[in-house]
């Protein structure tokens, strides 16, 4: 396989761990850039065959592709490779439901921290670190679905 050979969505998904189909043309999976217990990588196949990737854990899509031994060119369907390279593609973001699903664990972290505060208990250093990481992922998810925090 060369750097220019097309990689189908099925081939891409076969390279990922923990893949779950969430809807037609939509999946979540574990990011290949880190060891994680819950899926944070959202994958979407657009109507014209393009693949969209968003990692709600914060890693760049290019880094995810590199971890899989792939590059962006390999995800461009052959029928789109001949189009005008300067044409602006239609923007298709990620549905809010995908963002919420990816943030489910972060919501629990925030809830636990809020309960500790309401109960008058101090937050430990590890609690604060988890809360800060959850906050970063929530902010990234808001941006991915088009909300400016």
Contact (CB, 8 A) for 8 and 51: no
Cβ neighbourhood burial of 102 (10 Å; 0-12, 13-18, 19+): buried
User: Does 53 or 80 have the greater pLDDT score?
Assistant: 53
- What pLDDT sits at residue 79? 77
CA 146 from chain centre, in angstroms, equals 14
Q: At what angle do helices 104-118 and 125-144 cross, to 10 degrees?
A: 130
- What pLDDT sits at residue 70? 92
Asked if the model's pLDDT at residue 13 lies above 90, the reply is yes
**What average pLDDT score do residues 68-93 get?**
73
CA distance 83 to 113: 51
Model pTM above 0.75: no
């Amino acid at each position: 396989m060369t750097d220019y050979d097309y990689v189908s969505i099925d081939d891409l998904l076969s390279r990922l761990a923990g893949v779950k189909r969430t809807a037609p043309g939509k999946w979540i999976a574990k990011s290949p850039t880190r060891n994680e217990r819950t899926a944070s990588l959202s994958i979407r196949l657009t109507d014209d065959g393009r693949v969209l990737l968003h990692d709600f854990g914060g890693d760049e899509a290019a880094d995810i592709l590199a971890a899989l031994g792939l590059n962006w060119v390999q995800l461009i369907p052959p029928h789109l490779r001949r189009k005008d390279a300067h044409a602006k593609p239609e923007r298709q973001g990620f549905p809010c439901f995908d963002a919420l699903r990816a943030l489910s664990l972060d919501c629990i972290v925030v809830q636990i921290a809020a309960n500790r505060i309401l109960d008058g208990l101090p937050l430990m250093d590890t609690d604060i670190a988890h809360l800060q990481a959850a906050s970063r992922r929530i902010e990234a998810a808001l941006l991915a679905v088009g909300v400016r925090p």
